[in-house]
Amino acid sequence: MSLLFELLQVALGNRVSLNHVPSDDEWSVLYDESERQAVTGILLHGIERLSVEQRPSQEILLQWIGIGQMIEQQNRLLDERCIDLLSRLKNAGLHGTILKGQGITLLYDKELRPLRQSGDIDVYANCGIRKALAFAKSQGLKEVDWDYKHLHLNLWDDTEVEMHYRVEVLLNLWKNRRLQKWFRENDALLFCDNNGLTTPTSLFNVFYILLHIYRHFLYEGVGMRQIVDYYFVLKAVNRDKLDVSNSLEAVSKFGMERFAKGLTWVMKEALGMPREWMLWEPDEKEGKYILSQVMQGGNFGHYDQRLQHDGGKWNAVKQVCRHNWHLLSHYPADVIWAPVWFVWHKCWKLKTKALLAISKN
């Protein structure tokens, strides 16, 4: 078993020690991999749970602690930004909810919450693109980058914000139409008071976070941080004994069962997830394929050499399509639609720009 997985399991309370005392070289390699997978903070908690004999040298440990302190500081900042952002939306007459990120952090065990490595802030407001652009303008933003799903709110220099008017999308146009309908029908599950933040419910996240991981796995890449997120979604569902039948039906409806079974195997093997939390039967073959891609690409595929590209947006599109070829035999109904989506989205944006321009006049 990988040292990374052993220490993750220690951090999550699913084992008490490592199989052997790692050397300094092994610790250095593990540290680098923790950064690739964006779980450095989580592993720091694992180190703290180890016996003194199994911990790294003082030099390596101090480096790790320094990063942990930076992660905690970033989380405090993002918590403040989330509260401020929701307040601004409320003052503008919009109802916002924090997707993923700081919202999912609240599902983590208390001692792990400050150590989850955060990214940007994703906020959803059920308002449509016109009102979202109007809100951005009300915040003093003149030029805004937007697409079918969200726009970028450049409110702070130290925090990236994506304002969603669609929760998530699938590039399969037929599936996406049904997906948007599902989100509308389950809109009430998006808004839940959670320790001062408005976030989706755990029931919503059973489907949504899996969908988020699935989409990134197909088109960019996904790392262990996102898988640990889903581990805690399932832990919350099991703890609260929630009826997940609606979410399971949605996973099946949108053709994600194969992926869900593979991901279940990954969480069992890599994280030590208990059997009673599993919503699907683990699929070892698919799980090994998913895990190999996770380890190769790292967090959001940032370290995947197959996705390194230069030369503008269209060259990036070609690289994504080329990279996705190996996924075709696993998830053809979604992968094959990627080039169609890029063309459709270009047309959609041109049409939407024209309609927005007409509405201004």
The string of DSSP codes covering 67-136 is HHHHHHHHHHHHHHHHHHHHHHHHHTT--EEEESHHHHHTTS-TTTGGGSPP--EEEEETTHHHHHHHHH
Q: For residue 208, tell me if it sits in a domain.
A: no
> What pLDDT, on a 0 to 100 scale, did the predictor assign at position 319?
63
Residues 196 and 95 both lie in one domain: yes
Residues 135 and 118 both lie in one domain: yes
> What pLDDT, on a 0 to 100 scale, did the predictor assign at position 301?
53
Q: How many domains would you assign to the chain?
A: 4
Cα 156 from Cα 23, distance rounded (Å): 42
Query: What is the value of pTM for the model shown?
Result: 0.92
Q: Helix, strand, coil: what percent of the chain each, to 5?
A: 65, 10, 30
Q: For residue 348, tell me if it sits in a domain.
A: yes
Residues 319 and 301 both lie in one domain: no
Residues 114 and 166 both lie in one domain: yes
Q: For residue 70, tell me if it sits in a domain.
A: no
Residues 129 and 163 both lie in one domain: yes
Cα 108 from Cα 101, distance rounded (Å): 11
Residues 221 and 158 both lie in one domain: no
> What pLDDT, on a 0 to 100 scale, did the predictor assign at position 257?
97
**∠ at Cα 208 (204, 210), nearest 5°?**
125
Residues 196 and 83 both lie in one domain: yes
Domain that holds residue 90: 79-200
Q: For residue 73, tell me if it sits in a domain.
A: no
Residues 189 and 93 both lie in one domain: yes
Q: Which residue positions in the chain have pLDDT lower than 50? A: 303, 309
> What pLDDT, on a 0 to 100 scale, did the predictor assign at position 265?
98
Q: For residue 159, tell me if it sits in a domain.
A: yes
DSSP string, 125-147: ETTHHHHHHHHHHHTT-SS--B-
Residues 85 and 182 both lie in one domain: yes
Residues 226 and 131 both lie in one domain: no
Residues 169 and 99 both lie in one domain: yes
Closest residue by Cα to residue 301 from 231, 224, 232: 224
Q: Are 120 and 160 in contact (CB under 8 A)?
A: yes
> What pLDDT, on a 0 to 100 scale, did the predictor assign at position 339?
87
Amino acid type, 20: H
Q: Are 323 and 306 in contact (CB under 8 A)?
A: yes
Cα 87 from Cα 195, distance rounded (Å): 15
Q: For residue 345, tell me if it sits in a domain.
A: yes
